[in-house]
Amino acid sequence: MKNIVILISGAGSNMAAIVHAAQHDHWASRYGARVAAVISNKADARGLALARELGVPTDVLDHKAFTSREAFDAALMQRIDAFDAPGAPVLVLLAGFMRILTPQFVSHYDARLVNIHPSLLPAFAGLNTHQRAIDAGCKVAGATVHRVTPELDHGPILAQAVVPVLPGDTAQTLAARVLTQEHLIYPQVIAGLLQKQL
């Protein structure tokens, strides 16, 4: 069985969308893959309870307990790889994981590390994407699924979804519209990657 590990820091709605797709579309029998674990760097992340409700094992690794980013990432790699000993998981998915990862971490999961970002990359890498799109007068916004590289939000694009920016939009209303598309494209991309690995 190919194991997928999802990393979260918050509500975990993209994580839940992936788990729902894995269960509904029978990834285990179709692709020989399952969501093996959800790991958060925050013990109070709402997504942890959601993952447990969906029957997925969870783990917490508090980044504040480490003296450096490198030390945290090294410990995180050990936690992730433990779910698929002796090798590493087939995919590590970032779903609202609010940490900048070290080059060593990215290299360890080369071509197996995927993220979703709430903008049409390369536009608006980083934070506050929705307000920045509104402030720039953009007519459209959206989300991007991409492979992770050492440069933040600049990996090869796997899929994008576009939504209109409507008159009177706030960052919150635009974010909600984008999020509905995130929940569609992220599971689709992962299923496509798994199918290629058959």
56, amino acid identity? V
61, amino acid identity? L
- CATH no. for residue 13? 3.40.50.170
Q: What is the pLDDT along the chain (198 residues), one digit of tens a residue?
A: 889 999 999 999 999 999 999 999 999 999 999 999 999 999 999 999 999 999 999 999 999 999 999 999 999 999 999 876 555 578 999 999 999 999 999 999 999 999 999 999 999 999 999 999 999 999 999 999 999 999 989 999 999 999 999 999 999 999 999 999 999 999 999 999 999 986
Chain centroid, CA 80 distance in Å:
14
C-alpha separations of 50 from 3, 57, 74, 188 in Å: 19, 11, 26, 21
The set of catalytic residues is: 117
Of the candidates 61, 59, 152, 39, the one whose C-alpha atom is nearest the C-alpha of residue 101 is 152
- Give me the pLDDT at residue 88, please: 58
Domains of the chain: total: 1
Residue 116's φ and ψ, nearest 5 degrees, are -120, 135
Element containing residue 56 per DSSP (H, E): none
How far is Cα 32 from Cα 194, in angstroms, rounded to an integer? 9
Of the candidates 193, 190, 192, 100, the one whose C-alpha atom is nearest the C-alpha of residue 149 is 100
- Give me the pLDDT at residue 10, please: 97
- Give me the pLDDT at residue 143, please: 98
- Give me the pLDDT at residue 1, please: 84
For the stretch 147-171, pLDDT in tens is: 999 998 999 999 999 999 999 999 9
Boundaries of domain holding 157: 2-196
Name, in order, each residue with C-beta under 8 angstroms of 195's C-beta and a sequence gap of 6 or more: 31
- Give me the pLDDT at residue 197, please: 83
For the stretch 6-20, pLDDT in tens is: 999 999 999 999 999
